[in-house]
Amino acid sequence: MYSQGLIGADGRTTESEEFLARFQARIDAEEKIEPTDAMPEGYRRTLVRQIGQHAHSEIVGMLPEGNWITRAPSLRRKAALLAKVQDEGGHGLYLYCAAETLGVSREEMTEELLTGKAKYSSIFNYPTLSWADIGIIGWLVDGAAIMNQIPLCRCSYGPYARAMIRVCKEESFHQRQGYELCMSLAFGTPEQKAMVQDALNRWWWPSIMMFGPHDADSQHSDQSMAWKIKRFSNDELRQKFIDATVPQAEYLGLTLPDPDLKWNEEKGGYDHGPIDWSEFWRVVKGQGPMARDRIKARKKAWDEGAWVREAALAHAEKRRARKMAAE
């Protein structure tokens, strides 16, 4: 998951008109931009920010799901959840590598995450309160991530596009697995069904907020579109997501917590009720229920791991010195 459609392109630039026109022509011809190619500074900065946020989201996203690994109710589910959380860490790793091709180090990006300078998807600032949350996250949160990320497989920046191809394959596996988990609960005992309905009630609105503000309120996405970093608007993606999800909820016999949700024959899609944008902005600005705990957990892991990282460096240095002395 990445940006909640919030990342505006950074159009500030000092390059000549001619350079920018040549760059745009490459983009328009659907050529991939590679790390060693000349690129406008604004393009580079926009990508660093977007890929960095995306990477951080994968890493922070390990925490809410990791919260249920030790309590998974069957060994099969425990193994599947471990594998999923590991995949998310792997996504973080490819994305940090993609960002590093733009001249920013993983250490710098980690520093920005831990000091609160860099953002991550605020969906992960909600708590996972029951086992059903694990299914709902796979179904809705990974599902929303796929809607956002499939177009990124065609992003103009080569390393990002290639990372996304692999990530998307795994996300769609997560989505199916999450839905299957929800099925096991929805078709299970009355308590299990209540558990999954409760989780859906809590995660539905935050999930559709993942697509970001309405197009009318979304700033500077035109430049990202022109640069082909972004290919669909927030509202287009949200609509696709809702249209795909409603029948899936119906199949499970679950109710989406939006009384205004109804089929609109004319547009061939569902209309939804008003989104609580005050909640959205509150959570984006760092007031999500788990925001402090998430960063605290990451910071604790980082700080408590410092001696391990230092030892690894010291050991590598000793080896190098010994090898030099032996030569």
Partner 1 sequence: MAVWEALVELADDHLVLGHRVSEWCGHAPMLEEDLAMPNMALDVIGTARTLYTRAGELEGKGRDEDAIAYLRNEREYRNCLLVERPNEDFAHTMLRQLYFAAFMKAFWDAALSSADDVVRGVAGKAGKEMAYHIRHAGEWVIRLGDGTEQSARRMRDAVEALSIYVDELFDSSDAAQAAEAAGVLPKRSEMRAAFDKVIGDVFSEALLELPAVPYGQRGGRSGQHGEGLGHMLAEMQSLHRAHPGAAW
Give the max Cα distance, the chain.
79
CA nearest to 203, candidates 289, 286, 281, 118: 289
User: Is 136 among the residues that bind partner 1 (CB under 8 A)?
Assistant: no
CB 229 within 8 A of CB 54: no
User: Is 244 among the residues that bind partner 1 (CB under 8 A)?
Assistant: no
Residue 105 — φ and ψ, nearest 5°? -90, 160
User: Is 127 among the residues that bind partner 1 (CB under 8 A)?
Assistant: no
Query: 112: burial class by Cβ within 10 Å (0-12, 13-18, 19+)?
Result: middle
Q: Between residues 260 and 304, which has the closer beta carbon with respect to partner 1?
A: 304
Tokens of 235: 């509202």
| Residue 142 touches which member of Fe ion, partner 1, none, C-beta under 5-8 Å by kind | Fe ion
Number of residues that bind partner 1 (CB under 8 A): 48
Q: Between residues 7 and 62, which has the closer beta carbon with respect to partner 1?
A: 62
User: Is 38 among the residues that bind partner 1 (CB under 8 A)?
Assistant: no
Q: Between residues 196 and 284, which has the closer beta carbon with respect to partner 1?
A: 196
Q: Which of residues 68-87 bind partner 1 (CB under 8 A)?
A: 69-79, 82-83, 85-86
- Window contacting partner 1 (CB under 8 A); options: 186-194, 227-235, 258-266, 276-284: 186-194
| Residue 91 touches which member of partner 1, Fe ion, none, C-beta under 5-8 Å by kind | Fe ion
| Residue 258 touches which member of partner 1, Fe ion, none, C-beta under 5-8 Å by kind | none
Q: Which of residues 49-68 bind partner 1 (CB under 8 A)?
A: 59, 62-63, 66
CB neighbour list of residue 175: distance below 8 Å, 6 or more residues apart:
138, 139, 142, 143, 146
Q: Between residues 220 and 296, which has the closer beta carbon with respect to partner 1?
A: 296
User: Is 324 among the residues that bind partner 1 (CB under 8 A)?
Assistant: no
Q: Between residues 133 and 142, which has the closer beta carbon with respect to Fe ion?
A: 142
Instruction: Say what angle helices 142-149 and 234-252 make with each other, to 10 degrees.
Output: 140
Shortest separation between residue 60's beta carbon and partner 1, angstroms: 9
The residue ranges that bind Fe ion (CB under 5 A) are: 58, 88, 91, 142, 171, 174
CB neighbour list of residue 136: distance below 8 Å, 6 or more residues apart:
178, 182, 196, 199, 200, 202, 203
Shortest separation between residue 261's beta carbon and partner 1, angstroms: 29
Distance CA 55, CA 288 (A): 19
Q: How far is CA 315 from the centre of its chain?
A: 35
User: Is 169 among the residues that bind partner 1 (CB under 8 A)?
Assistant: no
Shortest separation between residue 255's beta carbon and partner 1, angstroms: 22
Q: What is the DSSP annotation of 7-57?
A: --------S-HHHHHHHHHHHHTTPPB-TTS---HHHHHHHHHHHHHHHHH
Shortest separation between residue 174's beta carbon and partner 1, angstroms: 14
| Residue 297 touches which member of partner 1, Fe ion, none, C-beta under 5-8 Å by kind | partner 1
Distance CA 88, CA 96 (A): 12
User: What's at 203, amino acid-wise?
Assistant: W
Which residues lie near partner 1 (CB under 8 A)?
Answer: 59, 62-63, 66, 69-79, 82-83, 85-86, 89-90, 92-93, 96, 106, 131, 184, 188-189, 191-192, 297, 300-302, 304-312, 314-316, 318
